[in-house]
Structure 1
Amino acid sequence: MKIPFVAALFFHSISLIAQQRITISGYVREHKSREQLPGVNVYISGSSYAAVTNNYGFYSLTVPVADSAVLSFSFVGYEGQNRRISSRKNMELDVFLTSVNQLEEVVVKANRDDEISQRAQMSQVEIPIAQIKKIPALFGEKDVLKVLQLMPGVQKGTEGQAGLYVRGGGPDQNLIILDDAVVYNANHLFGFFSVFNSDAIKTVELTKGGFPARYGGRLSSVVEMTMKEGSKDRLHGEGGIGLISSRLTLEGPVKKDKSSFLFSARRTYIDLLAAPIIARQQKGQKNQMKPGYYFYDLNAKVNFDLSSKDKLYVSGYFGRDKLYVGEKSESYKTSNGLDWGNATGTMRWNHLFSPKLFANFSLIFSHFDFGVMNDFSDLDKSGAVASENRLRYHSRIKDLNFKTDFDFYPSASHAVKFGAQGILHRFVPSALVITGSNSDNPGQHVKQSLSSFEGSAYAEDTWQPFDILKMNLGLRISIFNTLTKTYIRPEPRFSAALKLTGDLSWKMSYSRMNQYVHLLSNTGVGLPTDLWVPTTDRIAPQQSEQIAAGFAKDLTHAKLLITLEGYYKKMNHIIAYKEGASFLNISGDNSNELSWQDNVTSGRGSSYGAELLIQKKTGKLSGWVGYTLSWTRWNFPELNSGKTFFPRHDRRHDLSMVAMYDLGKHVTISANWVYGTGNALTLPVSKYTGVQEHFAGQAVGNEEHLLGTEISEYSGRGNFRAEAYQRLDAAIQFRKTRKRYERTWELGIYNVYNHKNPFFYDIGEQSNTGKLALKKFSLFPVLPSVSYNFKF
């Protein structure tokens, strides 16, 4: 009889304990615009009970019942807020935080200890948009991806390029998402600018390792960006006029406090400025040329509060680059051009099933295409077309994606996320159409296309079994269907943070990733000529495994975050072109044979290193110092005679120093200095016709020369290390605030001390001797810029 009594008492006690807990939930929004704020820290002061708002500003916190407690909210760039609560029942509490930029005077409260250093997540960086807009930039164009290049663990490509090389991975191994939609080509102007207009972006987050299970499909990083939702109180505007482009963003309510819109546009005007100059130069000439280039971006978003539990978001991005050259003479005319662009669309529905269960359903469209056009026409004496030939080449990738995500908060020590997605891919690696007016050559049509399905399901739990230990345990199952084969791959994930002291934690993580779409590139700089191709029966998915460990420390009084991490990553089945192959190596028949598979080879790679970040996000002086020490090696059986080599983006040392200082309310100065070991390049060691003279190629300006020019001999890939890269940029902003608007003049200098950084090397003739020598070519000297920005 005693055992049933004890059991009954035990279960009764458990029931009482469960009844003595309440759940506090709600949304955290920006005070004026009513936009939801992700990443806000929510916690009970003086306890270990804490939560972080999700991507839609929702939080849920289960705590013991108390007569009185203080619920605190903190977020970088916003005034902290404390709410005293006294309730013995579940409660909904929405909070509005005020940006420090909207106040005359404010004390910015430092985030509590249970933030970066205490989170289970590691290898992740967040950069406030306000900081991005203060950092000096090429031609004054603020670029999200170029700012990410200044973080440790992220390598830049060549001079001025916006491509990302994260922990030894290539540009295709980064999952870049905008409002849940994948952006396949993030470059404008052949990689010198990214497609993201910072005026339309609300948050930027980079994850380099320890990937949560909700992310998949790439090996190296996740760059997650969310667009602004639009102000719900009144019409606001923001824009700017620069040397090469102008932009305008409008946002406001559709129905006050219930729905809003955002519209943002940007366009270059290089073509408009250059056209009259070129016309004057060619006046009177028989051959008339019309070159031009421009790009544009459009961002749009609307959102509706359907009810207290339902919200609907519809957003899209559209952008395009066009490069064209036309020529006309008395006997012929030509027209040549390149164009490429992205289009994305996202429709999301949020539903709150209960204070502990939040759901999001998304329907997503992504599209990228690239085209080449070449027209040639012979003209008769009257100027009419006598004959013509046309070439049209294009490639594209199109996705239709449905995904669902759930956030479940069963208790104070667990935060569970789970969901699934399915993606229908449509690839056209190459399509070629050649037509001519000659009846004997009616035309040639070659098209390669393939459809496939990619799916996944995941579950992860952020679990805090003890006050000093927090873990994230997750599993993702991914699937990919080809014509005759199905790949099913498990992807375990784990990360943990162990609190050593109040503000110092030791962290570690493990993640396995699979990638089913690949980018074929000859240059490694992410040009639009690079082709997206799928995993097939012959081409296996890329796979990586990464482990990382390190320390994180929050110096709350100094408002500093310090992280030190070491990592090791191995990569399998990475692909590259075979020697001499390119995107135009396609078959000449009309079949759907995927001939590009014959032009590629697969191999493996490894990367390891250490990263140090010292970051300050708030205060008069803000910025960061980032340093990376790393090694990256590749091995392909069919490349470099099967020998291991350093890929182009291997860089031993990389240092970035970024600083912004507010001299007062109206003046801000900023500067950044970068230094990096030179890239690993492949250059010939000798050239010859009949007589061969060796070329050491060990330093810039080597005096040994070559006699022959017809044949180049190489000792192997990555056999030459370029000169180290270094650059100092500086800027000053002058702000003037009126009652209804704010205007800012910015003066900037790119490459202040005019260092001639290598863009590429070549072996050519010396002007004075005619002999061959190694030559360095630089791209950007010191470049001043001026821009005018406004906000109302």
Structure 2
Amino acid sequence: STGIYVRGGGPDQNLVIMDDAVVYNANHLFGFFSVFNGDALKSVELIKGGFPARYGGRLSSVIEMNMKEGNKEKLHGEGGIGLIASRLTLEGPLTKKKSGAGSSSFLVSARRTYLDFVARPLIKQQSNGETIAGYYFYDLNAKANYDFGPKNKLYLSGYFGQDRFYVNDKKEGTNIGLNWGNATATLRWNHLISEKAFSNTSLIFSNYKFQISSDELNFQDQEAFSLRYSSGIRDFSIKHDVDFYPSPQHSLRFGVQSTFHRFTPSAVVLKNTDINQFKQEVDAIDVLESGLYAEDSWRPNSRWRINGGLRLSHFVQKQVNYFRPEPRVSAAYILKPSLSVKASYALMNQYVHLLSNTGIGLPTDLWVPTTDRIKPQQSEQIAVGIAKDFADQGATRGLTLTVEGYYKTMNNIINYREGASFLLLNDPTSAEKVRWEDNVTRGKGWSYGAEVLLQKKVGRFSGWVGYTLSWTQWQFAELNFGQKFFPRYDRRHDASVVGIYEISPRITLSGTWVYGTGQALTVPTSEYQAATHQPLYDSYYSNNTPYLNLWNQVEAYGTQKNSFRAEPYHRMDLSVQFHKKKKYHERTWEFSVYNLYNRRNPFFYGLDTKDQGQGKPSKTVLYRYSVFPVVPSISYNFKF
């Protein structure tokens, strides 16, 4: 999966920003591709601790990305054609630059996979032409900017992405779909106030939505069944920031942001010819989230670097108001030019929540807001670390080492009650509406550990070795008998090794190896018959009186929650690139292998009954399911 876990936090606890706009689901299926196109990005910054006061609304991390502004001098392009995906980026001036006048430029970058086209003949052959199935995604980044002169600049940028999975079985009369996507737009005005101050004012739009669809047609009885399940979140924001440099020792930043959220936790439309037509919807929830901040980056002398600030966050939903102060401070002390120590403290509040059955950030997870019954999440984090630069010569040239330890507490985190789900739990023939708050419980968590990163940035050989040792625990009064347990986000060991070697100016070799402790899961240990929560009616046998429907339910009994550990995940990828500069362009052939030694990593586990032969009792077996063995690939890339 491509869910991002930072210091014990879930995928919802990362503030992912693209040109000031929040992206709520940073996933493409199976993790082969990043949700963001690197060709369109100018910079990416990850913050895991010591959060500056200008950031708010999440507990674990900030991932801030800024798109390229486009080449103002001439047209430039790059792209690639691969076995399952292609990409193209174009950038250049919009108008010719004239003396004394402003300039403008644009950038457009697009990608699309075509795995559905490649696999369609094989699927049709296996199903005798009765089944059409596939998955693909496409995304588009676009940006335009105009320079009005030395004091004013205007930027307009947007990101649009869609993932679509579908199955159409003509023989069975079924049509199933799973779609999700993000759309963002940002209009930013940059204004130079004076030689010591400038401001940025932004209007921001963000929209995330997913939908599950299922249609079935019984050809014999001509009965039709149709289900549509959708959920999403839409934002309109206004943001104003000011940067002020009163002296070489001080750098001040202050600003305000307000966001109008509209949550649609679930909207179900069900049609069945058996019961005529039924429609059920859960009303949209409108909330307002705001933040006011001020921070100062202070250099009192040549050795100290201090950033202190305060953020005041506010959230209102109907008659419920939450007002929370969030102090932040971080400091670094330079012991000598090659060695420094640092420490930070941050208090964070989060007013949006992600309800997940899987814990891996699938698009079917449910975004919900803070309400009168669900308080905002809150975390406090302390981090201490050192940074060492080695001698800039010989084998250690460009080598840096950072070591950081952290301790974080989390309050008011939410999780489903035992047996609950984001899908409707009541009788679908009733008109009663569902409140998702009834299906969740509130608790607290702890996360602590240490991170080590050894990195080499220059020379023919570059790369890094990273390792994290950490513990994460949760505690809910209504889960696991009130005892602490390890959530899916707990990963004891996490390691990555990345190397890039420039064999010659024309050949580059690169490799990656990753390792992670397996996820903590609950494995059922007993099976019994249980009554469903809905009665059935039989007018012939029971004279229209209800009776219970019995069904076999596999139930976790006698074990602690998440006491089973999945097998560890590890994988190696290799790639070699052949570069060649032509007269008008540069081309690169890339040959790569995913999962080089064909590791069968667990994707999920399932229980099934295994027959042991005549006269022997059957037994329940835990099966491991894997996806993607060794996968070779080839692509052609170009620049002009």
TM-score by structure 1 length?
0.73
Equivalent-residue separation in structure 1 for 2:354 and 2:512 (angstroms): 32
Say yes or no: does 1:572 pair with 2:396. Answer: no
Change in Cα spacing, 1:746 to 1:174, as seen in structure 2 (3 Å) is same
Match of 1:416 in 2: 252
Secondary structure of the 1:597 match is helix
Q: CA deviation at 1:374?
A: 1.8
Q: How does 1:144-293 map to 2 (within 5 A)?
A: 161-189=1-29, 193-257=33-97, 258-283=103-128, 288-293=130-135
* Contact 1:191-1:526 at 8 Å conserved across structures: no
CA deviations on 1:337-372 (whole Å, 9 max, x unpaired) are: 111111000010100111110110110000001111
Match of 1:326 in 2: 168
1:607 to 426, 447, 454: 447
Q: CA deviation at 1:594?
A: 5.9
CA deviations on 1:306-329 (whole Å, 9 max, x unpaired) are: 111111110101111111222224
Q: Which moved more, 1:763-772 or 1:743-752?
A: 763-772
1:506 to 317, 320, 341: 341
Equivalent-residue separation in structure 1 for 2:384 and 2:63 (angstroms): 21
Equivalent-residue separation in structure 2 for 1:398 and 1:194 (angstroms): 22
2:269 to 433, 440, 443: 433
Q: How does 1:419-498 map to 2 (within 5 A)?
A: 419-437=255-273, 441-498=276-333
Change in Cα spacing, 1:205 to 1:471, as seen in structure 2 (3 Å) is same
* Contact 2:526-2:554 at 8 Å conserved across structures: no
Higher strand share: 2
* Contact 2:58-2:350 at 8 Å conserved across structures: yes
Say yes or no: does 1:522 pair with 2:357. Answer: yes
Higher relative contact order (CA 8 A, sep 6+): 1
Larger radius of gyration: 1
Equivalent-residue separation in structure 2 for 1:655 and 1:639 (angstroms): 31
Secondary structure of the 1:626 match is strand
1:369 to 209, 212, 219: 209
2:619 to 762, 766, 771: 771
Q: CA deviation at 1:765?
A: 4.2
Q: CA deviation at 1:208?
A: 0.4
The sequence identity of aligned pairs, in percent, is: 58
Secondary structure of the 1:758 match is coil
Change in Cα spacing, 1:577 to 1:689, as seen in structure 2 (3 Å) is closer
Match of 1:785 in 2: 633
* Contact 1:191-1:527 at 8 Å conserved across structures: no
Q: How many residues align?
A: 604
> Which runs of 5 or more residues in structure 1 are unaligned?
1-160, 691-707
Change in Cα spacing, 1:711 to 1:607, as seen in structure 2 (3 Å) is closer
Secondary structure of the 1:187 match is coil
> Which runs of 5 or more residues in structure 2 are unaligned?
98-102, 531-551
Match of 2:399 in 1: 560
Match of 1:642 in 2: 482
Match of 2:144 in 1: 302
* Contact 1:496-1:507 at 8 Å conserved across structures: yes
Q: CA deviation at 1:191?
A: 5.1
CA RMSD of aligned residues (A): 2.1
Equivalent-residue separation in structure 2 for 1:684 and 1:350 (angstroms): 58
* Contact 2:50-2:345 at 8 Å conserved across structures: yes
Q: CA deviation at 1:762?
A: 3.0
Match of 1:390 in 2: 226
1:544 to 379, 383, 400: 379
Secondary structure of the 1:582 match is coil
* Contact 2:518-2:569 at 8 Å conserved across structures: yes
* Contact 1:234-1:256 at 8 Å conserved across structures: no
CA deviations on 1:175-200 (whole Å, 9 max, x unpaired) are: 00111110001111265543211111
Equivalent-residue separation in structure 2 for 1:183 and 1:431 (angstroms): 21
Equivalent-residue separation in structure 2 for 1:711 and 1:669 (angstroms): 50
* Contact 1:427-1:449 at 8 Å conserved across structures: yes
2:241 to 405, 430, 451: 405
Match of 1:675 in 2: 515
* Contact 1:447-1:590 at 8 Å conserved across structures: no
Say yes or no: does 1:623 pair with 2:459. Answer: no
Say yes or no: does 1:713 pair with 2:548. Answer: no
* Contact 1:237-1:248 at 8 Å conserved across structures: yes
Change in Cα spacing, 1:727 to 1:334, as seen in structure 2 (3 Å) is closer
Change in Cα spacing, 1:781 to 1:271, as seen in structure 2 (3 Å) is closer
Change in Cα spacing, 1:774 to 1:311, as seen in structure 2 (3 Å) is same
Match of 2:543 in 1: none
2:178 to 317, 330, 338: 338
Equivalent-residue separation in structure 1 for 2:81 and 2:66 (angstroms): 24
* Contact 1:529-1:583 at 8 Å conserved across structures: no
Secondary structure of the 1:465 match is coil
CA deviations on 1:193-221 (whole Å, 9 max, x unpaired) are: 43211111111111000000000100000
CA deviations on 1:652-695 (whole Å, 9 max, x unpaired) are: 121211111111111111112222222222112445789xxxxx
Q: CA deviation at 1:772?
A: 3.0
Q: Which moved more, 1:223-232 or 1:440-449?
A: 440-449
Equivalent-residue separation in structure 1 for 2:510 and 2:31 (angstroms): 24
Q: CA deviation at 1:410?
A: 0.3
Equivalent-residue separation in structure 2 for 1:195 and 1:534 (angstroms): 24
Match of 1:581 in 2: 420
Match of 1:737 in 2: 581
Q: CA deviation at 1:269?
A: 0.8
Q: CA deviation at 1:621?
A: 1.2
Which amino acid is the alignment partner of residue 620 of structure 2?
L
Equivalent-residue separation in structure 2 for 1:327 and 1:672 (angstroms): 39
1:760 to 601, 604, 619: 604
Equivalent-residue separation in structure 1 for 2:325 and 2:60 (angstroms): 17
Equivalent-residue separation in structure 2 for 1:670 and 1:565 (angstroms): 27
Q: CA deviation at 1:554?
A: 2.3
* Contact 1:190-1:527 at 8 Å conserved across structures: no
Equivalent-residue separation in structure 2 for 1:367 and 1:709 (angstroms): 38
Secondary structure of the 1:584 match is coil
CA deviations on 1:262-308 (whole Å, 9 max, x unpaired) are: 1111111122222333334444x7xx222222111011110111111
